[in-house]
Amino acid sequence: MERIATLEREIAVLRQKLNEKEKELYDLRQDWTPFYTNVPDGADTNQPVQLSKWAIERYSRQILLSSIGANGQAKLCGARVLVVGAGGLGCPAALYLAAAGVGEIGIVDYDTVDLTNLHRQVLHGEGDQGLSKVHSAANALRRINSRVKVTPYNTQLAPHNAMDIVNKYDVLLDCSDNPPARYMLNDAAQLSRIPLVSGSALKMEGQLTVYGYRANKNPNEKDPSYVGPCYRCLFPTPPPPEAVGSCSAHGVAGPVPGVIGVLQALEAIKLIVGHTHEQLLVGRMILFDGDDMTFRTVKLRSRSLDCAACSATRTITRLVDYEVFCKAQGREKDLELSILPPENRINPKELSMLLSSDQRHLLVDVRNESEFGMCSIGGAANHPIDGFAVKSSGLIAEMVRQGHAVTFICRRGNDSQIAAQLVLDQLDPGLREHVKDLVGGLHAWSKEIDHNFPIY
């Protein structure tokens, strides 16, 4: 173990030196040979261009495509794309945008690299744990293409800073994972009049579409008045918070966000080089099912004539508080429900003492079967929260009436409160003191009682 620790320290030092040298190379190349030789800055790239030798050699395989060509490559090299989220979607999307030669890639994320990220967030490695995701991603992108400008924003995109960042870019990629971010990015895209390439992935499924496309910015369009639907056209009101899933709560197969993220990059490339709305996922959505390996394309509703964000009579003229609008937090890791009163909650030390006593006690773990199979507290019974109201709440309420004390547990102390409340609602006031949930869930149990209990 000592030798492993020594090697890890030595590798960390070498990696830091490598990152510094790559950053030096990157900075030098920003002022080096341009990607074209006969077109001045700001010229119309619909006119024939002569790409530089290095650009032809590097991007030749995509320049050969008639739908891209030399002019399309020049547009890519001059384009600016903002990727919001350096996670499972943002990593593959940014990787392929950098490889394609997109001139500037901005990356926004407030989080740091965690061990649980590495099975799907492919720009990060084991040595990046604890590093901000945007700087880890930027280092990786500069290694892929040192001629691309990478701008990291180590912050949470919020109403007070979103417009200043978004206005610097031509295309916006939504690689976020929560409703407040999705509504904010949609509104920011509409205010900036730029297209939004929106992707999502959960479990074995993913989806992708393009919101807010405007034909007047594309000379290849026959009808310059065409405008595609935005996110609010389809979803004017947010879903209830309890109906929203997340990768950390429900899991995701790594290749699924990989597939969607790569397709987000492809749509961004097509937007930049001038594909028309019929060729893009405008007014259409791809649904990917990894279980049976199928893609379906569904037609979306047309643009709403009274949409609050994109119609002629829009009411959204600035960004608002989206956590209040969605009744949900923008940071999944900060989620902390507070449903039960203090008398129906128990801390890890109190639960440890209770488990070692002779009291008739039932420990109910409401995580799903896969999570319970990974790790559990000895003696716990598994009653998953999905279907709990129908299958288990009445049975457990009857056990309380027969003299059992019950403590509900889950991973973070959120679902356990929901399950406990379902049982409490069936009990007389005199029996409710026997039903509790573990504050902080198994994360708190690992931190305070059993340091060998795995955190995921």
| Beta-sheet strand order (sheet of 205-211) | 149-153, 104-108, 80-84, 171-174, 196-202, 205-211, 284-289, 294-299
Distance of CA 432 to the CA centre of its chain: 39
Active site residue 410: yes
CB 128 within 8 A of CB 136: yes
**Alpha-carbon span 148 to 17, nearest angstrom:** 21
Residue-level pLDDT at 46: 54
Structure tokens at 174: 């939504």
247, 202 contact by CB (below 8 A): yes
pTM: 0.78
d(CA 23, CA 20): 5
Give the strand pairing for 284-289 and 205-211.
antiparallel
* pLDDT at residue 5, rounded to an integer: 80
CA distance 197 to 285: 11
Six-digit token string for 439: 């504050």
Q: What is the mean pLDDT of each run of 10 residues along the chain (456 residues)?
A: 83 85 76 56 57 93 96 96 97 98 97 94 94 96 94 96 97 94 97 97 96 96 96 91 65 94 98 97 98 96 94 94 85 69 96 90 94 94 91 91 94 94 94 95 95 92
Give residue 32's pLDDT. Answer: 56
| Strand, coil or helix: 378 | coil
Please pick, among 77, 91, 233, 247, the residue that the annotation labels catalytic: 247
**CA-to-CA dists, residue 23 to 19, 26, 35, 140, 265, angstroms:** 6, 5, 20, 11, 24
Which residues does 254 contact at the CB level (< 8 Å), separation at least 6?
88, 119, 120
233 catalytic, yes or no? no
Inter-residue contact 45 to 75 (CB < 8 Å): yes
Helices (H) and strands (E) in the chain, counts: 17, 13
